[in-house]
Chains A and B, each alone.
Chain A
């Protein structure tokens, strides 16, 4: 499994954009980059995933470096409900979507 490095914690103010970085320098060519988040006292929730191109959905955008060794999850306007642990997880394209969670980034959003 590819190793990931994420900041332990980040802070943001409400209504401001948030850029959550992730380094995954040992990612394999077939690994997708997945982002999940876990709100307090809930199960993880899928956010977005991509392979090579940048991706957008209703929750967030994913910017993937050209060499695929890093990626950035972008929340365009943070809300209090976005306070969660964000996990960057390479993999998932094989072995029936097995995910190996790292420690993630704790995002705090201030009113």
Chain B
């Protein structure tokens, strides 16, 4: 089945130690997104790619970076994780359906910062 895969599902890192979260897709969608979801909150968009064009949300901290080496893969790098970065990180892809986009989400990676 075509899908959005996130690895690992659970990640523990130390305060200040760089960490990379991975996302891959078999849907061949040209748009990919990263969201952050803290406990009991709604998902918050960090950035998205249209093909290789990167679009950063205005309030995304500089501590968060992303790479998309090809259509299938996208990475979220947190350069110096703080305790406040503990959250679920969701990757999504989308395709144009009619004149709007339908997003497909992965299961998320839960990041713990110790």
Contacts and interface: CB of A to CB of B under 8 A. Distances in A.
A44 B3 CA distance: 13
A97 B4 CA distance: 17
A15 B41 CA distance: 29
A92 B55 CA distance: 15
Interface residues of A, number: 24
B90 A43 contact: yes
Interface string A15-55: 00000000000000000101010100011111001010000
Interface string A85-111: 001000011011111111110000000
Nearest to A97: B101
B100 interface: yes
B100 A49 contact: yes
Contacts of A104: 42
Given A97-B31, A98-B48, A44 B100 contact: no
Contacts of B41: 103
B108 to A, nearest CB: 5
A36 B107 CA distance: 14
Contacts of B48: 96, 98
Interface of B: 4, 31, 33, 41-45, 48, 50, 55, 90, 92, 94, 96-97, 99-108
19 contacts: A38-B43, A43-B90, A43-B106, A43-B107, A44-B92, A45-B105, A49-B97, A49-B100, A93-B100, A97-B96, A97-B101, A98-B45, A99-B45, A99-B103, A100-B45, A101-B43, A101-B44, A103-B41, A103-B42
